[in-house]
Amino acid sequence: MDPIQETVKEIHWNVLESLSKVARFSRDTAEPTRSVIDEYDPGRVYLAKWASSINEASRAERLEKSDESFPGRRRRRWSDSEPKRWEEETEVGTFEVLNDELTLPPVHAIRTDPLNAEKWFSFFDTEGRLKVELNEVREAVFRGGIENDIRIDVWKFFLGVYPWDSSRVERENILEAKAQQYWALKREWWDSPEVLNSDDFKEQKMRIEKDVIRTDRTMEFFAIEDMPHPDPLISASSKTTNKKLEAMKDILMTYHFYNKDLGYVQGMSDLLAPVLIVMEDEVPAFWAFVGFMERMKSNFYRDQSGMRQQLLTLEHLIKFMDPPLYKHLKNTESLNLFFCFRWILIWFKREFDWEHVKYIWEVLWSDYLCTSFHLFVALAILDKHRMVIIEYLKQFDEILKYINDLSNTIPVDETLLRAETLFHQFQRRVEIIDRKRSSVHQDNQNLGGTLRRRVSESVARNNSTDEGSSSNAAVVSDRLPVISELLRDLLV
Amino acid sequence: MASRKKVLLKVIILGDSGVGKTSLMNQYVNKKFSNQYKATIGADFLTKEVMVDDRLVTMQIWDTAGQERFQSLGVAFYRGADCCVLMYDVNNAKSFETLDSWRDEFLIQASPRDSENFPFVVLGNKIDLEESKRMVSQKRAMTWCQSKGNTPYFETSAKEAINVEQAFQTIAKNALQQETEDILYSDFPDPIKIDSDANKYEACGC
């Protein structure tokens, strides 16, 4: 960095710092009522955004320099050369774990160019059967996504329209059978006056209509209004429509007949829109959507159990990977993580632009590292903003506002690199802790029960941390972080 | 002391999906209308500074998802509300009929101190559409509002900015009254706690 820039940056920081001091000062003196601590302060969110933008500017500069060795647009690396200070949280006793971690080589994550047609077709033999290990395909998609012109083909595999081990001829037959099946399902309501006049149908129809006419309408293919609305009774605000919008309504309605328990729930139209545009036609779009919903349906359960479980897993993950952030969220009564609700419900659909949504979804569909990689993406976004959140945001609603406003500002490749790095760190931490616990357990067994108890009691009493002695094994074991079942499931 | 401190008024807008909650909030705060707002997922809010009875207050207006499946999330957002806006679409009878359940749900989840007198305001939106589409008459709406302890009622158009300012003036006024009462009735938190927090800032030298 040249000296002038450096000075400018320093001034920025000083101003920022003094401003925050002023803010604090006025809080501490002028307003000694409950609102001081209790209430939302738009100023803090503003300050947080500013701090974040300055962080970003200086980081981008550093990256630019370190990236010089990796030419090529999307070939970027991320390394965990600055591990977070894990030892801060004494109650989890991670002191030794951290030391173990530091002796390991840093993790490197890599992003590559998207999978292109040439490479994709090279995966298949003359009969159109996959001839490479599925994992190779998964890795290619995980690392770089898919080029737009072959998405229509590749997505059908990842979304289960047909199986990976099928031949070209088999796939043609499958598609034909699925088309029959789709039209039969659609006729269940399309051709039935009884259904069409039922209250349940009318309600579903209205819900779907309401959401479809406000889903991605800024995108050209949904923006055009070139045909009259098929239902003359529909409200004046949507007198005209287009083929894609109508296809979307029909697919969502047919899905209601395919999965009657679920019904249409808000968020589903967000999931369908890119799938329909990539698949082009109603029939493959329906089945691709069905495949997508197989992964996503628990997000829409009436009792919200699917969402709750994922938010809880994310909570455990934050506690395990970033105790200081966890503590801050706890102190601000934000552990419900509702500011991540939208991220998880529709897989970041509202956080990235259209092209990047397709890209991030296929990375998530690849299941290359694990089947819940979206939680690592969530962790990565929080991780990037952790300092700002901890330093500046003192209320649940401040955090929610800050996070909501991140929409369309999140750099996609950098986030995926960070998510991958965090995944590897997580995996390594679990291994180290398991190893440690089992070795402690071994040591423990070598001691007599009574002796062990007496020693560990005396250790606890004296608050001694006598390293190297195997006698405090039980204490060490107790202080190792607990790896919940939810966390273990992330490694599947 | 209460009159001199800066006030934050928390207002929650509830009502069926598609009645215009997001549009109303944006019309009031940003003076903009778009028919391309997406369905709200989760919750968001906007803030606006307004003068109420010669006092400058900050209104924090919460916009929530309308589908009933997401109602259980409410508890995180409703707490500490100073006023609740119940909104329906005058061209959609069902959205009016669900006002009862939105009201009940709010009282259960927010559990305000005095639920009998908690301030609600009812808004019938989309009056800009042609009269022939109207499904809920003003009389019907007003009768309902009267039966709920004379809840104030406004007919609005978020699109044409009709009655939006007026409605929010009433909302702010009633919210402020609620907030003031809450302060009078609530126990002040232990001041020592605040001091010790402040000391912590000093001590860490940041």
**Using one digit for the tens of pLDDT, what is the confidence trace for A344-369?**
999 999 999 999 999 999 999 999 99
> For residue A313, what pLDDT is reported?
98
User: CB distance A39–B17 less than 8 Å?
Assistant: no
Closest residue of chain A to B130, computed from CA coordinates: A236
What does pLDDT average to over chain A?
Answer: 83
> In which band, very low, low, confident or very high, does the pLDDT at A457 lie, cut at 50, 70 and 90?
low
Q: Which residues of chain B have pLDDT under 50?
A: 1-4, 190-206
- The residue extents of the domains of chain A are 8-152+303-492, 159-300
Percentage above 70 pLDDT, chain A:
76
pLDDT above 60: residue A36:
no
Q: Which residues, in sequence order, are CB contacts of A458 under 8 Å at separation 6+?
A: A464
> For residue A293, what pLDDT is reported?
98
Contacts of B18 in chain A (CB under 8 A): 210-211
A214 closest CB neighbour out of B8, B38, B94: B38
pLDDT above 80: residue A4:
no
> For residue A2, what pLDDT is reported?
52
pLDDT digits (tens, 9 = 90+) for A273-308: 999 999 999 999 999 999 999 999 999 999 999 999
> For residue B67, what pLDDT is reported?
87
> For residue A327, what pLDDT is reported?
97
B69 closest CB neighbour out of A210, A302, A339: A302
State the average pLDDT over residues A58-81: 54
Contacts of B179 in chain A (CB under 8 A): none
Largest CA distance in chain A: 85
> For residue A227, what pLDDT is reported?
85
CATH number of the A8-152+303-492 domain: 1.10.472.80
Q: How far apart are CA A440 and CA A480, in angstroms?
A: 10
Q: How far apart are CA A251 and CA A182, in angstroms?
A: 9
For an interface test with B, the pick among A88, A214, A307 (most B C-beta atoms closer than 10 Å) comes out as A214
> For residue A481, what pLDDT is reported?
85
Neighbours of B104 (CB within 10 A): 10
> For residue B39, what pLDDT is reported?
94
DSSP state of A410: -
> For residue A130, what pLDDT is reported?
98
> For residue A41, what pLDDT is reported?
87
> In which band, very low, low, confident or very high, does the pLDDT at A104 lie, cut at 50, 70 and 90?
low
CATH number of the A159-300 domain: 1.10.8.270
Q: For strand B43-52 and strand A108-110, is the pairing parallel, antiparallel, or unpaired?
A: unpaired
* Level-2 CATH architecture, domain B8-187: 3-Layer(aba) Sandwich (3.40)
State the average pLDDT over residues A409-420: 95
B69 closest CB neighbour out of A17, A31, A265: A265
Lowest average pLDDT, out of A159-163, A261-265, B71-75, B145-149, goes to B71-75
User: CB distance A304–B72 less than 8 Å?
Assistant: yes
Chain A with chain B: Cβ pairs closer than 8 A: 111
Residue closest to B85 by CA, chosen among B176, B182, B177, B172: B172
> For residue A33, what pLDDT is reported?
36
Cβ-count burial A192-228 (b if 16+ within 10 Å, e if not): eeeeeeeeebeebbbbbbbbbbbbbbeeeebeeeeee
Q: How far apart are CA A272 and CA A241, in angstroms?
A: 17
pLDDT above 70: residue A9:
no
User: CB distance A341–B42 less than 8 Å?
Assistant: yes
State the average pLDDT over residues A180-188: 97
Which is more confident, A283 or A450?
A283
Tell me if B13 sits within 8 A of B61, measured CB to CB. Answer: yes
